[in-house]
Amino acid sequence: MKTKDISHTPPYVPIGRNILYVPPTNKYIVEAKEHAKKYSLDKEMPNTSVIVKDGKIIGRGANGSTYHDTHECERVKRNIPTGQGYELCEGCHPKNHGESRAIKNAKDAGHNPKGADLYMWGHWWCCKPCWEAMISAGIKNVYLLENSEILFNKKDPDNIIGNN
C-alpha cells in the first residue's frame, strides 16, 4: 500500500511518518467500522482504531466518552479548532481517542504493539498526542480509509459525518 497526495493536508503528521490508505473492503477497516458502530460514544464522529500484528488484531479502541452527555464541550464553547485543546475538555481528552484506547487494549491483553500497524475508521488524521502515543508504543504504520480526507472532514462539503 502506498501513500497518496491529498488536497486536504492533515493538521499534523510527525516528521518521518506518513499516513497510508486502504480501500473500504480491507478487512481491518471493515472491522474498525463495525467496532465504531457498536462501541464509539461520539455520536458526531464515531471512530475506532484496531491494531494488527502478524495478521491478527491485538487491540481495539473506540473514541468518545459520556462526558458530553452532561457537560458542554469546553473546546466548542471556546471555538477551538479541530486538533487543538483536547486537554481542556474531559470528553475530548486524548485518553478517549481510539488510537490511545487500542494501544491500552492491546497492552492490557498482554500484547506488545511494537511493529504493529494501526487501522482507523471514522477520521482523516491523527492528533499530535495520538501520534506520540503510537510512536512511543512502536506502531509501525497508520492506515486510514481511502478518501477519508473527504468522508470524515467536517470542512469538506462531501463528508458523510453523521451518515455513516
Q: Per-residue pLDDT tens for 53-106?
A: 999 999 999 998 888 888 888 888 899 887 788 888 888 889 999 999 999 999
Q: Which domains does the chain have, with CATH numbers?
A: 19-64+92-152 (3.40.140.10)
Higher pLDDT residue, 1 or 111?
111
Q: Which whole number is the average pLDDT over 140-145?
A: 97
Q: What is the DSSP string of 13-72?
A: --TT--EEEE-TT-HHHHHHHHHHHHH---SSS--EEEEEETTEEEEEEE---SHHHHS-
- Averaged pLDDT for residues 96-122: 97
pLDDT exceeds cutoff 70 at 140: yes
* 44 burial level (CB within 10 Å; 0-12, 13-18, 19+): exposed
Query: What DSSP designation does 81 have?
Result: P
- Residue pair 92/16 in contact (Cβ under 8 Å)? The answer is no
**C-alpha–C-alpha distance, residues 2 and 23, integer Å:** 12
Q: How confident is the model at residue 33 (pLDDT cuts 50, 70, 90)?
A: very high
Percent of the chain residues past pLDDT 70, beyond the cut: 93
Q: What mean pLDDT is predicted for residues 12-28? A: 94
* Grid cell for residue 127: 492528533
